[in-house]
Amino acid sequence: PIIAGDWFGTAEVGLACAMGVFGNQLGIALGFIIPPFVIENNCTDDVNISYELSIITYPIAVINGVILLLTIFVFQGKPDKFPSIAQATKEVNADYLSSLKQLVTDRSFMFLFMAYGFIVGTYLAMSTLMNEMVLIHFPGEEVDAGWLGAIMVFAGMGGSILFGVFLDKTHRFKEVSVVIFGLSAICMLCYTFMIRMEHIWIQFLFFSILGVLMTGYIPVGFDFGAEITYPIPEAMSGSLLNASTMVFSIILTNVASSLIQSYGDFVSNLFLTICILVGLVFVVFMKCELKRTTASNEEKQT
Question: CB neighbours of 200 closer than 8 A, spacing ≥ 6?
Answer: 138, 141, 144
Question: Which region among 34-38, 163-167, 224-228 has the lowest average model confidence (pLDDT)?
Answer: 34-38
What is the distance, to the nearest Å, from the Cα of residue 66 to the centroid of all Cα atoms in its chain? 25
Select the more confidently predicted residue: 274 or 192: 274
Q: Tell me the C-alpha distance between 169 and 180, whole Å.
A: 18
Mean pLDDT of 128-142: 78
Note the pTM of the prediction, 2 decimals: 0.75
pLDDT at residue number 7: 65
Select the more confidently predicted residue: 91 or 29: 29
At 217-247, the pLDDT tens digits run 888 888 888 888 887 877 788 889 989 999 9
Select the more confidently predicted residue: 94 or 112: 112
Percent of the chain with pLDDT over 90: 23
- Closest alpha carbon to 269 in 148, 113, 129: 129
pLDDT at residue number 85: 47
Asked if residue 116 has pLDDT above 70, the reply is yes
Asked if residue 121 has pLDDT above 50, the reply is yes
Asked if residue 88 has pLDDT above 60, the reply is no
pLDDT at residue number 47: 63
Domain positions in the chain? 1-90, 94-301
At 48-73, the pLDDT tens digits run 767 777 887 888 889 889 988 988 88
Select the more confidently predicted residue: 212 or 302: 212
Name which CATH class applies to 94-301. Answer: mainly alpha
What mean pLDDT value characterizes the chain? 80
**Which range, 12-16, 108-112, 128-132, has the best average confidence (pLDDT)?**
108-112
Asked if residue 83 has pLDDT above 60, the reply is no
**Where do runs of H (alpha helix) occur along the chain?**
2-7, 13-38, 46-73, 85-92, 96-104, 107-128, 130-137, 142-170, 173-194, 200-210, 217-229, 234-263, 265-285, 291-301
Question: Which region among 8-17, 151-160, 235-244, 278-287 has the lowest average model confidence (pLDDT)?
Answer: 8-17
Angle 194-206-193 from CA coordinates, rounded to 5°: 20
Q: Tell me the C-alpha distance between 148 and 164, whole Å.
A: 24
pLDDT at residue number 111: 95
pLDDT at residue number 92: 47
pLDDT at residue number 137: 75
pLDDT at residue number 254: 94
* Structure confidence at residue 13 as a pLDDT band (50, 70, 90): low
- Are 115 and 245 spatial neighbours (Cβ–Cβ below 8 Å)? no
- Are 230 and 90 spatial neighbours (Cβ–Cβ below 8 Å)? yes
At 248-277, the pLDDT tens digits run 999 999 999 999 999 988 999 999 999 999
Q: Tell me the C-alpha distance between 50 and 163, whole Å.
A: 41
pLDDT at residue number 29: 67
- Closest alpha carbon to 226 in 284, 167, 290: 290
Percent of the chain with pLDDT over 70: 77
pLDDT at residue number 14: 58
